[in-house]
Amino acid sequence: MAYAFRVSKNPAEFLQALTQAASRLMAGGLVAFPTETVYGLGANAEDEAGVKRIYLAKNRPADHPLIVHIAHPSDLDHFASAVPDYANDLMRDFWPGPMTLILPRTKNAKDFITGNQETVGLRIPNHPVALALLLAYKNQGGHGIAAPSANRYGSVSPTDAKAVETELGDHLDADDMILDGGTSEVGLESTIIDCTGLSPKILRPGAITAEMIEGSTSMVVADPSTNSIRVSGSHAKHYSPKARVIVGSEAQAGEGFIALSDHPTPIGAIRLAEPSNNDEFAAVLYSALRAADEQNLNVVHVLPPEGDGIAIAIRDRIQRAAAG
């Protein structure tokens, strides 16, 4: 069982915790840490034994690639090559932030990170704890932290430290760490953008939308239907609670219900979340699905938001949670 550390506002204690966490990563340990999207489970991206521990803890398929988190855009060249101009535009506008770029890999991005592909996913998270950890890790000689979401594979991603402990506590060692940095603000995983072609292509929707990408690059986002690159969160069934998720129908008595606040709760249904807008919907979706399992509900009905923007990512996650 890993131990959780609530990140202190005391500068000396904060620095001590981050230095200890960076040392654990350098020694082959695992560190769960907050990002603005969800909590990640991190290992040294160049340590095959450490990365294998991520796969074991998560029960993750061995060919499923990991995203590498870096401290600064200047660190990108260690793992990626052939960076197109439009990728530089995206980095300028959206890093740090909820955006992962897929780029051709260098020799430093090994098969155990890329899933035996010739590409690597990279991002700079926008969370003070994550950024401070990445800097402390870099100061100890590290180049990147491989970090998928800190949950068992296919289940609901964690947006707070308690959820990480619930999911992975029994699968981590005593020397591993969970850094508690509060609740993730965005609540959905990063937008994944393929930057290996002539124009950007969204492989997983998120808070960075097609309209934002086009505004940054002055390019039309390409059709992803021809994509052959495997990325995180691409399986049909994913982000799933134990409860059965049903999309677009009214809940019956005793069943869970998630919808925007302007949708009234059906008589006898158990309201799990009533966000007032789409950003709030994204932020509370996963905690609401976890609440269904905590209350031992068998069924959760979700009315997805309509429209573009982050609503596309919300619908993507809900559909995957309901698949199968």
- Which strands make up the sheet holding 256-258, listed edge to edge? 244-247, 299-302, 256-258, 270-273
pTM: 0.95
Which listed CATH number (3.40.50.11030, 2.40.420.20, 3.30.9.10, 3.30.70.2390) goes with 244-322? 3.40.50.11030
Token duo for residue 23: 């040392």
The phi, psi pair for 63, rounded to 5°, reads: -95, 10
The 10 Å CB-count burial string (b at 16+, else e) for 260-284 is: beeeeebeebbbbbbbeebbebbbb
CATH class of 3-226: alpha beta
* Structural domain spans, the chain: 3-226, 244-322
What Å distances lie between residue 143 and 74, 76, 95, 117, 271, CA to CA?
A: 11, 9, 17, 20, 44
Residue 12 confidence (pLDDT): 81
**Positions of the chain with pLDDT lower than 70, given as ranges:** 1-9, 233-234, 236, 324
Please say whether the beta carbons of 148 and 232 come within 8 A. yes
